[in-house]
Amino acid sequence: MSKKIVSIVGARPNFMKIAPILRALSAVKECTSILVHTGQHYDHALSTQFFQELGIPAPDVNLEVGSGGHGTQTGEIMKRLEPELIALEPDWVVVVGDVNSTLAAALVAAKLHIPVAHVEAGLRSFDRRMPEEINRVVADVLSSLLFVTEPAGVTQLRNEGIPQDRIHLVGDVMIDTALAMRPQAEATRDARWAGRLPPRYGLVTLHRPSNVDDPLQLEAILDALEQASQRLPLIFAVHPRTESRLKTFGLWQRLSEMPGIILQPPLGYLEFLGLLTRATAVITDSGGIQSEAAWLKVPCLTLRDSTERPITLELGVNRLLGTDPRALLPALESLLRGDWPTPGTSPLLDGHAAERIVSLLLSA
Ligand code: UD1
């Protein structure tokens, strides 16, 4: 029987997760695949560029919600998505990751009695101050199919009382994309950075509200980055939220004058992955980058108290530094001394997670 599947995306970290699922769906004749973009991210650098680089077809529907507070943004997505889903009458709504668009779409679909499939289910940081943690918990409880990236997620969902037959350990779709795109990513890096890529460098991304919305914390992070950049040149791809906070707090000038730091706008998928592939270390508060670094075996220094991806710690590549940025320099120094575990690998990171997801969706 033919199935209609509506996939929902909204923000940058959704795009590399949906790309392999859409590709796998398009290979199935007896399936209509429809893509809805909520418009949570709308800048070329955070949205369109990712569609182009990842070969994602233009969305069938764009809700164009834009930025706003959590309630406003989530509510606006719900308001605009509901009539679309009523008209489309899908068999499944697929949501990915943990952004506000994920939460809003899961709520709308569940209330319309449309079954929800959540890709990247079961991840928990156990920190409810992170908006993403609330989004994950709610999306999981509303989902009929929960596709999990790593074993800890399965245990967690069982502990939360989710019926076993809804839970499927499939691996990480983000790694499907990274594996498929790696050659192009390396070529993009070589073309864009020809003659100016330092032989050794650290790659930096920071955008979590807990790190960038508080002026004292952000200033302490700049102090730490300045010290670190005297040991290792740093390429810092600055998220729009972070740039806006740096400017508001009067810190932008100071950062832009640090000699060891190469400031970049938010980078496209290919350029960023290419840079990550060759980095000596990555310094981040992102979730997804911890997984990509673990797969690439690039040491990851995470400026957070918790991670929802414990496998990255078990594989030995990721170290949680906490939120006191003074932990950065000693961690970087021990890494540069070679005092770092030999990274392991996981069979789940094989590049076929999306195929497993689509086959389960179609047989459900
Ligand atoms: C969102 C996700 C976060 C993800 C991050 C990746 C939630 C709760 N958070 O955070 O999990 O890691 O995306 O980027 O969903 N802005 C622009 N251009 C855009 C979009 C946003 O300049 O295209 C600026 C606006 O000033 C906006 C701010 O960034 O107010 C924050 O955007 P928002 O989508 O609310 O959250 P992110 O911090 O990007």
CA 68 to centroid of ligand 1, rounded, Å: 9
Which helix H or strand E contains 159, and what residues bound it?
helix 151-159
Q: How far is the CA of 158 from the centre of ligand 1 (A)?
A: 31
> pTM for the complete prediction?
0.96
239 labelled catalytic: no
CA distance 364 to 359: 9
Mutation to probe ligand 1, out of 42, 48, 67, 267 (largest number of atoms < 8 A from CB): 67
- The ligand 1 atom nearest the CA atom of 208: 38
What does each of the 364 residues of the chain score in pLDDT, given as a tens digit? Answer: 689 999 999 999 999 999 999 999 999 998 999 999 999 999 999 999 999 999 999 999 999 999 999 999 999 999 999 999 999 999 999 999 999 999 999 999 999 999 999 999 999 999 999 999 999 999 999 999 999 999 999 999 999 999 999 999 999 999 999 999 999 999 999 999 999 999 999 999 999 999 999 999 999 999 999 999 999 999 999 999 999 999 999 999 999 999 999 999 999 999 999 999 999 999 999 999 999 999 999 999 999 999 999 999 999 999 999 999 999 999 999 999 999 999 898 888 899 999 999 999 999 9
Q: How many CB atoms lie within 10 A of CB 351?
A: 17
Nearest residue (CA) to ligand 1, atom 14:
12
Helices (H), 28-145: 49-54, 70-88, 100-111, 131-142
Atom of ligand 1 nearest to the CA of 288: 12
Residue located nearest, by CA, to atom 28 of ligand 1: 241
Report which of 302, 299, 294, 305 is spatially closest to residue 339, judged by C-alpha positions. Answer: 299
C-beta of residue 333 within 8 angstroms of C-beta of residue 231: yes
Which has the closest alpha carbon to 117: 354, 322, 341? 354
Alpha-carbon gap, residue 280 to 202, rounded angstroms: 6
- For Cα atoms 177, 181, 182, give the angle at the middle one, nearest 5 degrees: 115
Fill in the DSSP letter of residue 45.
Answer: I
Atom 19, ligand 1: which residue's CA is nearest?
A: 41
Ligand 1 lining (C-beta closer than 6 Å) = 11-13, 40-43, 46, 67, 99-100, 131-132, 207, 239-241, 244
Looking only at the bridges linking them, the beta strands covering 202-205 and 318-320 are unpaired
The H or E element spanning position 359 is helix 353-363
| Ligand 1 atom showing the smallest separation from residue 99 Cα | 15
Q: Three-class SS of residue 318?
A: strand
Nearest to 225 by CA among 236, 212, 214: 236
Atom of ligand 1 nearest to the CA of 135: 8
Task: Tell me, in angstroms, the distance from the centre of ligand 1 to residue 230's CA.
Answer: 30
- The residue whose CA has the least distance to atom 13 of ligand 1 is 11
